[in-house]
């Protein structure tokens, strides 16, 4: 394995699953302290009580960079996240959607904490889990306008979905699944584009707050950096 600086993620009390523990973690997760896609995976690993070592990479080709031959041996696409499953012959997986589905398919049975037993229910989860939003580093006003409008459109759909009879305030199956977690971290960033969920989408806000209180999600979020709304900034309240 490439030699990157790592950060141990120990918990008290230490968790032991599949013969691995916080001192001898099963997974290596490559992530970035602002990248929602990496934290999405950290949150799923933590919710499933799987142990992992968190490698904090940097953008670009410098020290601990994603665009380095060492990391491109893990992910030829040079992006985070990627995982190595040391409990499964050091299997490497990259692309956040592929990773979270691998984790639940392999490690969330038969408990079904974030996954489901029937193919029908699995498809419902996948439908919502695979619905992504994207970043663009360059400011292109027309694209920005379009994606801000798209984000609002998606938020309105999520708001409606969470209010469906029997939803219990979750996206599908009336309980938390990996689909909820796939969304969560992205919605912690919408202030950056002037969308204040707490003002505009109260049900979505309640759902986010509910997830943020979960110990597994809190563990997975450790080290995440995202902008916090300043007093008096933007919004309608
Ligand atoms: N579709 C990919 C997107 C991965 C991605 O864009 N990751 C960002 C951070 S959240 C990244 O690595 N950006 C660095 C770059 O584009 O050079 C996934 O879901 O894993």
- Whether the predicted pLDDT of 121 surpasses 90: yes
pLDDT at 192: 80
Q: How confident is the model at residue 143 (pLDDT cuts 50, 70, 90)?
A: confident
Q: Would you say the CB of residue 80 lies under 6 angstroms from ligand 1?
A: yes
Measuring CA to CA, which residue among 26, 30, 29 is closest to residue 87?
Answer: 26
pLDDT at 234: 58
Q: Would you say the CB of residue 79 lies under 6 angstroms from ligand 1?
A: yes
Going by DSSP bridges, is the β-strand pair 27-31/52-56 parallel, antiparallel, or unpaired? parallel
Measuring CA to CA, which residue among 115, 114, 113, 83 is closest to residue 96?
Answer: 83
Q: Could you tell me which residue, 225 or 139, shows the higher pLDDT?
A: 225
pLDDT at 147: 84
Helix (H, G, I), strand (E, B) or coil at 29: strand
Q: Would you say the CB of residue 36 lies under 6 angstroms from ligand 1?
A: yes
- Whether the predicted pLDDT of 42 surpasses 70: yes
Q: How confident is the model at residue 228 (pLDDT cuts 50, 70, 90)?
A: low
pLDDT at 232: 60
The secondary structure of residue 15, as a DSSP letter, is: P
Burial of 97 (0-12, 13-18, 19+ CB in 10 A): middle
Burial of 179 (0-12, 13-18, 19+ CB in 10 A): buried
Span 97-109, average pLDDT = 95
Span 182-192, average pLDDT = 86
Q: How far is the CA of 19 from the centre of ligand 1 (A)?
A: 31
- What are the DSSP calls for 43-101, one per residue? HHHHHTT--EEEEE-BSSSSTTBSSSHHHHTT-TT--S-EEEETTTTTEEEESHHHHHH
* Separation of alpha carbons 55 and 144, rounded Å: 31
- Whole-structure pTM value: 0.85
pLDDT at 162: 97
């Amino acid at each position: 394995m490439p030699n990157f600086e790592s950060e141990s993620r120990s918990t008290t009390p230490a968790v032991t699953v599949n013969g691995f523990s916080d001192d001898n973690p099963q997974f290596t997760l490559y992530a970035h302290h602002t990248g929602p896609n990496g934290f999405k995976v950290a949150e799923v690993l933590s919710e499933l009580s799987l142990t992992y070592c968190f490698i904090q990479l940097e953008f670009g080709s410098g020290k601990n960079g994603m665009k380095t031959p060492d990391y491109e041996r893990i992910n030829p696409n040079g992006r985070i996240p990627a995982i190595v499953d040391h409990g499964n012959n050091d299997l490497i997986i990259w692309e956040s959607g592929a990773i979270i589905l691998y984790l639940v398919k392999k490690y969330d049975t038969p408990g079904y904490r974030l996954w489901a037993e029937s193919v029908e229910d699995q498809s419902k989860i996948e439908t919502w889990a695979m619905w992504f939003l994207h970043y663009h580093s360059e400011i292109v006003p027309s694209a920005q306008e379009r994606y801000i409008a798209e984000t609002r459109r998606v938020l309105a759909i999520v708001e409606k979905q969470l209010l469906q009879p029997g939803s219990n305030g979750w996206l599908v199956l009336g309980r938390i699944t990996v689909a909820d977690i796939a969304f969560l971290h992205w919605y912690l960033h919408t202030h950056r584009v002037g969308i204040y969920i707490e003002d505009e989408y109260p049900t979505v806000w309640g759902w986010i707050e509910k997830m943020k209180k979960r110990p597994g999600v809190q563990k997975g979020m450790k080290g995440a950096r995202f902008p916090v709304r300043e007093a008096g900034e933007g919004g309608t309240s």
